[in-house]
C-alpha cells in the first residue's frame, strides 16, 4: 500500500513516550496506565485491520481486571466474542513496541502479510472499566481507529463480559441476543426468572446473598441487574464503588489470600460472592459458626454445574458428550471428584481462558473454569437445536420433556462468549435453587486438598519455560527434578511453577493432604525457583 495513503497513521500526540517493552498475552496488554497511551492508539489501528480481515465488528476493551487502580490495559475481542486469535498476538506486540519512525512501514507490512482489503468497512466496538485512566486511553484508541477510517461504536463504562456479548450479538445479527446493554440484562434475567418458577423440594436454599463488587465496574452492573431481577433474588452489595478498586477485595484477593474482603459484613453460613474488577471472575465463600473461612472457587462452580448437567442429560435421555476443562491450578480433590464420582471426562489446558475455551469446543457441551473463577459453558449449535426440539416435543414422556426444558432455559442464563461473573452467579443460583441446597450442602460434595499460592520476583520471567499444560518446567535445567524430589516427600503432594504473562514474577502453587505440611512444601519449591531462576530481593516467605 502507498505510504501516502497511511499518512494519517502518525499522530504526534500519541508518539511513543516510554521505552519499556510490552507483550500481548492472555489478558492483552497490561501495565502502568501512564505508559499505555501510545499502545492504545496503536491497538486502535490494529482493531481496524483485524475488523477488515474478519469483515466483522471487533471489540476493544480497556481494563486491567483484578489489578490495582494505577494499572490499566487493553484486549481485543474477535467476532464470535472470543479472545484475539493467537497468531495476532505477536502482531499486536510488534505494533505496540515499534519506534514511531517505523510505525507506517510496520502497518504496511501487516496489511501485505495478512492480505488485508483496505476498502472493507471496519467497525470497532469499544468499552472501558471505571479506572481514572480509562477515558484518556479510550480517546487514544478512538484516535487510532479513526486514523484508519474505522467506525467507532462506543458503549462507555461496561463489564468485560458485556462487551464480549455485544460483539457477538452484533456479528450474528441479533440471533444470540439484542446487541445492547438492555438486551444483555433482559436475556439473562428473563431466563433466570423463568427457571425459578419451578418449586424446590426443601427450603435449605435461601434466595439471598451478599456480594463483594471489588469497587469496580461490576458495582454499576449489579445495580442494573437488581432492577431486572426484582424480588427473585436479594443481593446485598458491598465494595460498591466508594472504595479503592480491587484493594483487599475482589475475587482474586479472596481466592489467593483465602480470606474475606474488607468492608464486608459477614453472617455465619450466608452465601457470599466476590467478583473481580471487570466482572469476568466469580468465587463463592462463607464463614461457618466458628468464624472459619470457606472458599468455593472455580473448581467448585465447575463441578456443581457439571454434576447438574449430567443429571439433566440422563433425565432427558439426550446423549451428548459432556466434558470439563481445568488448568494446573485446579485442586486435586476436584479432579478426583469429577473423574471418579461424577465420571465426566476431564482434561487439562494451559492457563488462560483462550486455551480452556478452545479445548471446551471439542465437546458437545464443554464446561471450563479456572480455579480463580473465570469460566463458562459452551454448547454446539446442533446441541442447542436438539435440546430446543426436545423441550417442544409434546410426545416425549413428562420427565424427559421437563429436563430438556430446563436445559433449554439454562442455556439462556449462560453468556457463552467468555467468563461472566454475573452469568455464572445466576447459573450457580439456578442449580442451588433446583437442588434446594445451601452453600454448606454444596461444599459437602467433595473435600479440597489444602493448597496455597506464592509469587517469587525474578530478574527475567522468560527463564522459566513450561510444558504439559504448564505443569512441568523445561528450563532452567534441573529445576523440575528438584521440584519432583521435594513433592515426593508429601502425601498427595503436587506443586508447579508458572511465569506471569505480564510481570517478572513466577507463581508457585502447592497442595498436599496435610495442611500442616503445606507451608514447608510451598516455601521449599519457592526457594528452588528463587535459586534457579534468578530471584530478586529477599528470599520468598509466607505473608
Q: Are 36 and 72 in contact (CB under 8 A)?
A: yes
Q: Are strands 58-62 and 123-128 parallel, antiparallel or unpaired?
A: parallel
Straight-line distance from the first to the last Cα atom of the chain, in angstroms, rounded to the nearest whole number: 56
Edge-first strand listing for the sheet containing 58-62: 29-32, 71-77, 58-62, 123-128, 151-157
Nearest C-alpha neighbor of 212 from the set 156, 165, 253: 253
Q: In whole angstroms, give the CA distance from residue 509 to residue 527.
A: 13
* Set 65, 210, 238, 274: catalytic member: 65
Residue 178's SS3 state is coil
Per-position b or e across 105-143, b if 16+ CB within 10 A of its CB: ebbbbbbeeeebeeeeebbbbbbbbbbebbeebbbbbbb
Nearest C-alpha neighbor of 375 from the set 315, 326, 435, 431: 326
- At residue 326's C-alpha, the angle toward residues 321 and 330, to 5°, is 140
Residue 65 falls in the annotated catalytic set: yes
What are the angstrom distances between the C-alpha of 305 and each of 113, 250, 431?
43, 22, 7
Cis peptide before 476 (omega within 30 of 0): yes
Q: Does an H or E element contain 408, and which?
A: helix 398-413
What are the angstrom distances between the C-alpha of 396 and each of 97, 314, 315, 393, 404?
60, 14, 12, 6, 10
List alpha helices for 260-397, DSSP H.
298-316, 332-336, 353-360, 381-392
What are the angstrom distances between the C-alpha of 441 and each of 283, 436, 514?
16, 9, 24
List alpha helices for 69-116, DSSP H.
89-97, 103-113
Q: Are 305 and 429 in contact (CB under 8 A)?
A: no
Q: In whole angstroms, give the CA distance from residue 64 to residue 530.
A: 27
- At residue 381's C-alpha, the angle toward residues 224 and 27, to 5°, is 55
List alpha helices for 196-250, DSSP H.
217-229
CA-derived radius of gyration, the chain:
23
Residues annotated as catalytic are 65
Amino acid at each position: 500500500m502507498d505510504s501516502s495513503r497511511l499518512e494519517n497513521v502518525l499522530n504526534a500526540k500519541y508518539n511513543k513516550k516510554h521505552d519499556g517493552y510490552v507483550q500481548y498475552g492472555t489478558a492483552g496488554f497490561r501495565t502502568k496506565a501512564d505508559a499505555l497511551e501510545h499502545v492504545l492508539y496503536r491497538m486502535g489501528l490494529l482493531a481496524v485491520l483485524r475488523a477488515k480481515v474478519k469483515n466483522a465488528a471487533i471489540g476493544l476493551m480497556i481494563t486491567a481486571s483484578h489489578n490495582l487502580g494505577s494499572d490499566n490495559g487493553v484486549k481485543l475481542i474477535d467476532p464470535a466474542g472470543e479472545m484475539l486469535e493467537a497468531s495476532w498476538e505477536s502482531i499486536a506486540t510488534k505494533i505496540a513496541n515499534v519506534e514511531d519512525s517505523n510505525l507506517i512501514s510496520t502497518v504496511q507490512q501487516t496489511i501485505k502479510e495478512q492480505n488485508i482489503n483496505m476498502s472493507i468497512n471496519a467497525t470497532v466496538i469499544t468499552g472501558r472499566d471505571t479506572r481514572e485512566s480509562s477515558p484518556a486511553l479510550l480517546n487514544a484508541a478512538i484516535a487510532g481507529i479513526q486514523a484508519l477510517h474505522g467506525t467507532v461504536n462506543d458503549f462507555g463504562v461496561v463489564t468485560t463480559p458485556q462487551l464480549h456479548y455485544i460483539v457477538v450479538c452484533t456479528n450474528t445479527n441479533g440471533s444470540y441476543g439484542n446487541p445492547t446493554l438492555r438486551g444483555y440484562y433482559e436475556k439473562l434475567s428473563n431466563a433466570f426468572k423463568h427457571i425459578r418458577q419451578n418449586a424446590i423440594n426443601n427450603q435449605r436454599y435461601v434466595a439471598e446473598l451478599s456480594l463483594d463488587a471489588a469497587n469496580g465496574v461490576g458495582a454499576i452492573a449489579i445495580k442494573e441487574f437488581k432492577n431486572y431481577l426484582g424480588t427473585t433474588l436479594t443481593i446485598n452489595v458491598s465494595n460498591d464503588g466508594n472504595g479503592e478498586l480491587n484493594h483487599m477485595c475482589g475475587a482474586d484477593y479472596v481466592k489467593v489470600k483465602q480470606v474475606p474482603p474488607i468492608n464486608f459484613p459477614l453472617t455465619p453460613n450466608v452465601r457470599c460472592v466476590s467478583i473481580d474488577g471487570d466482572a469476568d471472575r466469580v468465587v463463592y465463600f462463607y464463614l461457618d459458626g466458628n468464624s472459619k473461612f470457606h472458599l468455593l472457587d472455580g473448581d467448585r462452580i465447575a463441578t456443581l454445574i457439571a454434576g447438574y448437567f449430567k443429571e439433566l442429560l440422563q433425565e432427558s435421555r439426550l446423549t451428548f458428550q459432556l466434558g470439563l476443562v481445568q488448568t494446573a491450578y485446579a485442586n486435586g480433590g476436584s479432579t478426583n471428584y469429577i473423574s471418579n464420582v461424577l465420571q465426566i471426562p476431564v482434561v487439562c489446558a494451559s492457563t488462560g481462558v483462550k486455551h480452556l475455551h478452545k479445548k471446551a469446543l471439542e465437546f458437545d457441551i464443554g464446561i471450563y473454569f479456572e480455579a480463580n473463577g473465570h469460566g463458562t459453558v459452551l454448547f454446539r449449535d446442533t446441541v442447542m437445536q436438539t435440546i430446543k426440539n426436545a423441550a417442544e416435543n409434546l410426545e416425549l414422556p413428562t420427565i424427559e420433556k421437563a429436563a430438556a426444558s430446563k436445559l433449554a432455559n439454562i442455556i439462556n442464563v449462560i453468556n457463552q462468549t467468555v467468563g461472566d461473573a454475573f452469568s455464572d452467579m445466576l447459573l450457580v443460583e439456578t442449580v442451588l435453587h433446583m437442588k434446594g441446597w445451601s452453600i454448606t450442602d454444596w461444599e459437602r460434595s467433595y473435600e479440597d486438598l489444602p493448597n496455597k499460592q506464592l509469587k517469587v520476583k525474578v530478574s527475567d520471567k522468560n527463564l522459566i519455560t513450561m510444558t504439559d499444560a504448564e505443569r512441568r518446567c523445561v528450563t532452567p535445567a534441573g529445576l523440575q527434578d528438584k521440584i519432583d524430589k521435594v513433592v515426593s516427600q508429601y502425601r498427595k503432594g503436587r506443586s508447579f511453577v508458572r511465569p506471569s504473562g505480564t510481570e517478572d514474577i513466577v507463581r508457585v502453587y502447592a497442595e498436599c493432604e496435610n495442611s500442616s505440611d503445606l507451608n514447608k512444601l510451598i516455601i521449599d519449591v519457592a526457594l528452588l525457583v528463587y535459586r534457579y531462576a534468578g530471584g530478586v530481593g529477599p528470599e520468598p516467605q509466607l505473608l
